């Protein structure tokens, strides 16, 4: 293997980056050839199923699996005793087992699992496992869990507080004293599910030497779930191999998947490969949702709209166990405080255990919650000050070179441009004059990270390598993987441009941890900047090595050689194909492919202080401004989003078509979050709407025309000037729709989702009031 450090070459004439090339793996997807999690098969494969708790909170007195084990076709039954027995979870918050040890804490908690020759047998076997429970009192809501003397979800955690932070900046009380207007409101967000169309799925096998070999639809093949799987199996990390299959969506829900270690434990005990896929009902009820929050906010501004002070209490419903929720609530509390030039802030955030399914990561990582709170309040303050909501945002916007209250160093930032552009394309000024009951227009902005240094203490960054095969194809391996939104295409475009190859000469390999490096995976909108830069560095090194090899073949000064569209030339009329040069390299190195590694370490980032949360956690920040137009059906209360406009600062775009697609998809998810996605629970802690019939996702009929736009920008750190775009697309949607709805009704609904029932209640009240005033 060759390691060459080469300067990155700015070669602008290749024209691959910045083009709307189709996804590199689209052909596999439209022909049905792409292999997803549940499509993987192995000879001798068994089928796995999980036995789950029917109780929200209970002690396990005994588990008797003898009868299940005797059922013909059953090959293994596993419980906690078949694991290493260690607590797993998010760093110091490790609070659960992959199978319950002696207590279950939500309806659906994993108790045992079965592997059998077919799914019907596995299903029958579950019913034969006898579990004796002693039912314990349960708490379902924030209020129940926080009440004095409330039953504890975890005996070791007093007051059910899983995690809390308190911090302040500036002089909050003095600043409030200077305000011309101070408003207070409480906002609530709902627990939406990522609802990827492919349920979680996994196939696990063990080789003759006890190494785990796992195929999974995971967003984080090299990251935390591999580590947790090794921990549950009691194996060193190097003995757990994960192949990333195609993913049928993830959106944060496939970062952390209990199904992976659970299936591996089954496969080890059965001594045969085991495949498991959750049913849709199981997936909705038993895998983490977005963390729902209740946020009390007091904010004050002076006459010009400048925000002077902010005081916040965030309470978040953690559910039974900490998945990634501590960092989600930290994000909800802090991130929005970097969108504007806040100087005086005081924030407390508490994460509360309840006896419901664990909550965790879903696109936006807490930022949609915090943004809903503050961006709603910005409109309330604008109204109070008789200001244009766009103007109050401009007055307070951060700008390049600004260091925020949390120490975030704002590098490239086109927030103001986004606001101006979204005003222009939406016809903001004109439409705001409509002033008609039932019609409204609203705006919201967003700041988001490109990776978060605080996620993994040991390091941050990405690794990739590129290997040139005998045919002159660049085989790109970036350990981060592709969760389906187009990372592979972005990597291919970067590699093609940097090396000087046509797109068809670049192949992006699927992640196999045996051959890829260590990586966290696709979350925190980190892939374009981190993975993209790693690929770019590897490509630059490959280009340099190809040029040196060509110079060796031809003779002459390496600096006179160039590569364009897969052809190496030296300016004298000599030329060779990259295939010829790559083969020459292989012959000259006893069969070794020309292979170069690249890595990227985000510059100037720190782990945020544990207590104060201060520190620049990301090397680039993405921005956007969105506008929603809504119409309310006054008879039914149904909210229709008429038009949606979104302008993003994603730096220089790598692929405009994919970038538009990211926005359109994020906005559609945001519409579901804003208008109807929610969990309904029975009094016994069972989720009542865990099917796609009752858990409503936006369909063709619910998503309006989405007009997208991009600010002209260029990030100094991102690859070829690009920034991430995955999460910021969903973050401002609920607040933009909420603000439009408040404009339509003249009254604000502060509790999401904005269902027809709630809206109808407001319509009835407002119309009754108007009628009364009309009579008077």
Residue 658 lies near another protein (rule: CB under 8 A): yes
DSSP state of 39: G
22 near another protein (CB under 8 A): yes
Coil vs helix vs strand at 297: strand
Which helix (H) or strand (E) element contains residue 214? Answer: strand 212-216
Pick the binder of another protein from 48, 56, 191, 248 (CB under 8 A): 248
Query: Judged by CB under 8 A, how many residues of this single chain contact another protein?
Result: 59
> Does 563 participate in binding another protein (rule CB under 8 A)?
no
Binds another protein (CB under 8 A): choice among 139, 260, 483, 494: 483
Rule CB under 8 A: choose which of 9, 385, 601, 697 binds another protein: 697
Q: Check residue 23 for interaction with another protein (CB under 8 A).
A: yes
9 with 79: CB under 8 angstroms?
Answer: no
Query: What is the number of alpha carbons within 13 Å of residue 444 lying toward its C-beta?
Result: 34
Select the residue interacting with another protein from 5, 29, 130, 424 (CB under 8 A). Answer: 29
Closer by beta carbon to another protein, 382 or else 639: 639
435 versus 699: smaller Cβ distance to another protein: 699
Cβ count within 10 A of residue 17: 24
In the list 251, 408, 428, 679, the residue contacting another protein (rule: CB under 8 A) is 251
> Least distance in Å: CB of 715 to another protein?
23
The arrangement of strands across the sheet holding 130-135 comes to 103-104, 58-64, 130-135
Residues in the chain: 776
Give the residue with the Cβ less far from another protein, 99 or 644. 644
277 is an interface residue for another protein by CB under 8 A: yes
CA distance 664 to 656: 12
CB of 733 to another protein, least distance (A): 11
Residue 641 forms beta bridges with which residues?
630
41-60 residues in contact with another protein (CB under 8 A) are: 41
Per CB under 8 A, does 640 bind another protein?
no
Q: Looking at 65-73, 204-212, 221-229, 240-248, which segment touches another protein (CB under 8 A)?
A: 240-248
Least Å from the CB of residue 487 to another protein: 11
Task: Give 646 or 722: the residue with its C-beta nearer to another protein.
Answer: 646
The reply to whether 691 sits near another protein by the rule CB under 8 A is: yes
Please select the residue that binds another protein; options are 15, 692, 768, 771, rule is CB under 8 A.
692
Distance CA 139, CA 151 (A): 7
Contact predicate 182/258, CB 8 Å: no
* CA neighbor of 521 nearest in space, from 263, 251, 267, 223: 223
For the bound state, the minimum distance from the C-beta of residue 738 to another protein, rounded and expressed in Å, comes to: 19
The CB-side HSE value for 729 (13 A sphere, CA atoms) comes to 28
- 280 interacts with another protein by CB under 8 A: yes
Applying CB under 8 A, which part among 132-140, 161-169, 666-674, 752-760 lies near another protein?
666-674
User: Which residue reads 């590694």 in tokens?
Assistant: 597
Site for another protein in 185-224 (CB under 8 A): 194-199
Radius of gyration for the alpha carbons in the chain, expressed in angstroms and rounded: 27
Q: Of 24-32, 138-146, 618-626, 674-682, which part binds another protein (CB under 8 A)? A: 24-32
Q: What is the closest distance, in whole angstroms, from the C-beta atom of residue 646 to another protein in the complex?
A: 10
Q: Looking at 6-128, which runs of residues are DSSP E strands?
A: 46-52, 58-64, 74-78, 103-104, 110-116
- If one asks whether residue 753 binds another protein (CB under 8 A), the answer comes out as no
**Phi, psi (rounded to 5 degrees) for 167:** -150, 160
> 3-state DSSP call for residue 148?
coil
**SS3 letters for 303-356?**
CCCCEEEEEEEEEEEEECCCCCHHHHHHHHHHHHHHCECCCCEEEEEEEEECCC
Question: CB of residue 562 vs another protein: minimum separation in angstroms?
Answer: 31
| Residue 598 within binding range of another protein, rule CB under 8 A | no
The nearest distance, CB 486 to another protein, in angstroms, is 7
Establish if 666 lies at the interface with another protein (CB under 8 A): yes
Q: Which stretch of DSSP H or E encloses residue 444?
A: strand 439-449
Shortest spacing between CB 776 and another protein, in angstroms: 45
31 touches another protein (CB under 8 A): yes
Helix (H, G, I), strand (E, B) or coil at 161: strand
Query: If binding is defined by CB under 8 A, does position 72 make contact with another protein?
Result: no
Q: How many distinct helices (H) and strands (E) make up the chain?
A: 19, 28
Interaction between residue 657 and another protein (CB under 8 A):
yes
The single-letter DSSP state of residue 82 is G
- Closer CB to another protein, 21 or 314, in the complex: 21
Should residue 332 be labelled a site residue for another protein when binding is judged by CB under 8 A? no
Q: DSSP state, 531?
A: I
Stretch that binds another protein, among 69-77, 242-250, 326-334, 539-547 (CB under 8 A): 242-250
Residues 6+ apart with CB under 8 A from 771: none
Interface map 309-328 toward another protein (x if CB under 8 A):
--------------------
12 vs 31, which CB is nearer to another protein? Answer: 31
Report the DSSP beta bridge partners of residue 48.
115
Q: Say how far residue 263 (Cα) sits from the centre of its chain.
A: 24
Q: Exactly one of 700, 773, 774, 776 binds another protein (CB under 8 A); which one? A: 700
Are the C-beta atoms of 344 and 169 separated by less than 8 Å?
yes
Interaction between residue 279 and another protein (CB under 8 A): yes
Nearer CB in complex with another protein: 185/702: 702
d(C-alpha 432, C-alpha 294), whole Å: 30
Give residues in contact with another protein (CB under 8 A).
20, 22-23, 25-36, 38-39, 41, 194-199, 246-251, 277, 279-280, 483-486, 657-658, 660-661, 663-669, 691-693, 697-701, 703, 705-706
């Amino acid at each position: 293997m060759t390691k060459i450090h080469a300067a990155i070459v700015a070669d602008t004439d290749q024209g691959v980056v910045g083009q709307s090339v189709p996804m590199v793996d689209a052909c596999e997807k439209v022909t049905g050839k792409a292999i997803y999690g549940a499509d993987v098969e192995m000879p001798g494969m068994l089928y796995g199923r999980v036995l789950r708790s029917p109780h929200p909170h209970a002690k396990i007195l005994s588990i008797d699996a003898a009868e299940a084990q005797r059922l013909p076709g059953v090959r293994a039954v596993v419980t906690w005793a078949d694991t290493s027995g260690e607590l797993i979870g998010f760093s110091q918050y490790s609070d659960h087992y992959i199978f319950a040890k002696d207590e279950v804490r939500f309806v659906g908690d994993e108790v045992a699992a079965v592997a059998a020759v077919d799914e019907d047998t596995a299903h029958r076997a579950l019913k034969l496992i006898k579990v004796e429970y002693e039912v314990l009192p349960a708490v379902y809501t924030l209020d129940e869990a926080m009440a004095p003397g409330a039953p504890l979800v975890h005996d070791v955690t007093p007051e059910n507080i899983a995690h809390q932070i308190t911090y302040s900046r500036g002089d909050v009380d003095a600043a409030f004293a200077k305000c011309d207007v101070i408003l207070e409101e409480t906002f609530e967000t709902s627990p939406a599910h990522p609802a990827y169309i492919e349920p979680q799925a996994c196939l696990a096998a063990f080789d003759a030497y006890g190494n785990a070999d796992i195929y999974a639809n995971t967003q984080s093949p090299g990251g935390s779930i591999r580590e947790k799987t090794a921990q549950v199996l009691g194996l060193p990390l190097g003995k757990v191999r994960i192949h990333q299959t195609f993913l049928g969506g993830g959106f944060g829900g496939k970062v952390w998947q209990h199904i992976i270690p659970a299936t591996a434990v089954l496969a080890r005990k059965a001594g045969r490969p085991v495949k498991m896929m959750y049913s849709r009902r199981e997936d909705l009820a038993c895998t983490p949702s977005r963390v729902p929050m209740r946020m009390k906010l007091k904010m004050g501004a002076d006459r010009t709209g400048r925000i002077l002070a902010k005081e916040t209490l965030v309470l978040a419903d953690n559910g039974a166990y900490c998945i990634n929720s501590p960092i989600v609530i930290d994000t909800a509390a802090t991130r929005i405080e970097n969108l504007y030039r806040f100087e005086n802030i005081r924030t407390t955030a508490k994460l509360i255990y309840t006896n419901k399914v664990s909550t965790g990561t879903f696109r936006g990582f807490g930022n949609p919650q915090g943004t809903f709170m503050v961006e709603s309040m910005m409109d309330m303050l604008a109204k109070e000050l008789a200001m244009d909501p766009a103007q109050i945002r401009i007055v307070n916007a951060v700008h390049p070179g600004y260091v925020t209250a949390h120490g975030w160093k704002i590098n490239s930032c086109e927030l103001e441009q986004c606001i101006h552009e979204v005003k222009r394309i939406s016809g903001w000024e004109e439409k705001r004059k409509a002033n008609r009951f039932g019609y409204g227009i609203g705006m919201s902005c967003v700041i988001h990270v490109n990776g978060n240094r605080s996620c993994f203490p040991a390091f941050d960054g990405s690794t990739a390598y590129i290997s040139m095969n005998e045919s002159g194809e660049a085989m790109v391996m970036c350990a981060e993987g592709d969760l389906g939104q187009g990372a592979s295409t972005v990597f291919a475009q970067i590699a093609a441009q940097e090396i000087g190859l046509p797109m068809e000469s670049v192949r992006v390999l699927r992640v196999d941890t045996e051959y890829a490096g260590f990586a966290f995976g696709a979350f925190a909108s980190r892939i374009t900047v981190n993975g993209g830069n790693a690929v770019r560095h590897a490509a630059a090194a490959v280009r340099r090595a190809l040029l040196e090899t060509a110079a060796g073949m031809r003779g002459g000064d390496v600096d006179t050689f160039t590569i364009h569209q897969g052809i190496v030339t030296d300016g004298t009329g000599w030329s060779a194909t990259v295939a010829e040069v790559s083969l020459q390299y292989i012959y000259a190195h006893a069969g070794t492919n020309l292979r170069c590694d690249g890595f990227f370490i985000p510059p100037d980032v720190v782990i945020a202080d544990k207590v104060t949360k201060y520190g620049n956690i990301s090397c680039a920040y993405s921005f956007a401004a969105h506008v929603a137009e809504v119409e309310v059906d006054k008879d039914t209360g149904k909210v229709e989003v008429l038009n949606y406009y979104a302008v993003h600062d994603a730096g220089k775009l790598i692929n405009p078509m994919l970038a538009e697609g990211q926005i359109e998809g994020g906005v559609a998810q945001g519409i579901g979050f804003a208008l109807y996605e929610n969990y309904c629970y029975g009094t016994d802690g069972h989720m009542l709407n865990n099917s796609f019939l009752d858990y409503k996702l936006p369909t063709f009929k619910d998503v309006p025309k989405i007009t997208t736009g991009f600010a002209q920008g260029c990030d100094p750190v991102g690859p070829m000037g690009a920034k991430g775009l995955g999460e910021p697309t969903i973050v401002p949607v609920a607040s933009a729709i909420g603000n439009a709805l408040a404009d339509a009704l003249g009254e604000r609904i502060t509790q999401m989702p904005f269902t027809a029932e709630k809206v109808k209640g407001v319509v009835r009240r407002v119309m009754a009031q108007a009628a009364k005033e009309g009579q008077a």
